[in-house]
Amino acid sequence: MKKIKYTLISLAIAIGLKACWVKNDNQIALKGTFLNESYLNHASHASDTLLSAIPFYCTELVFDHPDSVLVRNGVEEYALKYEIHQDSCFVKNAYQHQGKLRDLVLILTSDTSFVALEQEFTGQSQPASFRKTSIFKGFEYGLNNATLAGKYALVDAHTQKEVVVTFTADGRIVGLPTYQKFAVCYSGDCVSEPLEASNVIMLENAQKEVEFAVWRFDKSTKRLTISKLAKPQPDIKGERAIQSTLLEAGKIS
């Protein structure tokens, strides 16, 4: 009888351990870079949306360590501790609400996507969706894709011939001698450069000099307009009026 009793006890322990192992095996693990898809979806409607007015907690979450996540928001980046319990991830002390530090809760749908319950921070009614991306295609790549990336046709002012200019998702400008690179501004000091609230782009020439400009894409006509800003005033940050049109082109693909 004792032998049977010990066998049953051993069997029960083995079943219990197996259940624990299965539970641990099924727990979702996060690894890699996750982009704020909700922000990018809003940004794709930038013809009638100010990028700087879209509320968000962060643009990227990078899980490159087993117990800490790198948080990026376009201005700064910092590491926070996190814990995963079943299908929820708790990013510890992520933000303040009513004077108290709060955890950012992520509801895990798979190892490639989750929903961030950031409404308390953003004041929005809906959470933000995040999806895993390649390390070579970070948030700025996704933002360029959602806004300006594509081929445009314009008429050269000197030759009166049609020229094709390409804005690539990785931030290059091909076919425009004046500028070689661009970056879409969505947070930080650059958004306050224009006198009137507008979407801002940073243009870089061959000498790596950066110029701020205002851009607008009209979805109905598929036309992109980039406007030059007045020169900055001494001791005054921003408040620069639109001065002239730098580029006006129709999107062809």
pLDDT reported for residue 213 = 97
Contact status, residue 176 vs residue 247, Cβ threshold 8 Å: yes
Find, among 152, 113, 104, 123, the residue nearest to 53 by Cα. Answer: 123
Of 84, 119, 144, the residue at which a domain comes to its end is: 144
Of 118, 144, 170, the residue at which a domain comes to its end is: 144
Distances from the Cα of 202 to the Cαs of 205, 209, 218, in angstroms?
10, 10, 19
pLDDT reported for residue 7 = 40
Total domains, the chain = 2
* Average pLDDT of span 72-90: 96
Question: pLDDT, tens digit, for every residue of 146-178?
Answer: 999 999 999 988 888 999 999 999 999 999 999
Band of residue 240 on the pLDDT scale cut at 50, 70, 90: very high
Is residue 8 a part of any domain in this protein? no
Is residue 37 a part of any domain in this protein? yes
Question: pLDDT, tens digit, for every residue of 26-61?
Answer: 789 999 999 999 999 999 986 678 999 999 999 999
Termini Cα distance of the chain = 80
Is residue 14 a part of any domain in this protein? no
Per DSSP, the residues of 62-116 read EE-SSSEEEEE-SS-EEEEEEEEETTEEEEEEEEEETTEEEEEEEEESSSSEEEE
- Are residues 156 and 240 located together in one domain of the fold? yes
Higher-confidence position of 187 and 10: 187
Q: Cα–Cα distance between 249 and 183 in angstroms, integer?
A: 18
Residue 177 makes CB contacts below 8 A (sequence gap 6+) with none
Is residue 11 a part of any domain in this protein? no
- Are residues 191 and 210 located together in one domain of the fold? yes
Is residue 27 a part of any domain in this protein? no
Domain of residue 246, residue span = 148-251
Is residue 17 a part of any domain in this protein? no
Strands (E), the chain: 32-36, 60-63, 68-72, 77-85, 88-97, 100-108, 113-116, 128-133, 150-155, 162-167, 173-174, 181-185, 199-204, 210-218, 223-229, 242-251
Range of lowest pLDDT (116-130, 132-146, 162-176):
132-146
Question: pLDDT, tens digit, for every residue of 2-29?
Answer: 444 444 344 343 334 333 333 455 789 9
* Average pLDDT of span 219-245: 92
- Are residues 153 and 228 located together in one domain of the fold? yes
Looking at the DSSP bridge assignments, the partners of residue 94 are none
- Are residues 136 and 231 located together in one domain of the fold? no
- Are residues 180 and 215 located together in one domain of the fold? yes
Quote the pTM value.
Answer: 0.85
Residue 112: exposure state from Cβ atoms within 10 A (0-12, 13-18, ≥19): middle
Q: Cα–Cα distance between 114 and 199 in angstroms, integer?
A: 29
Of 96, 121, 144, the residue at which a domain comes to its end is: 144
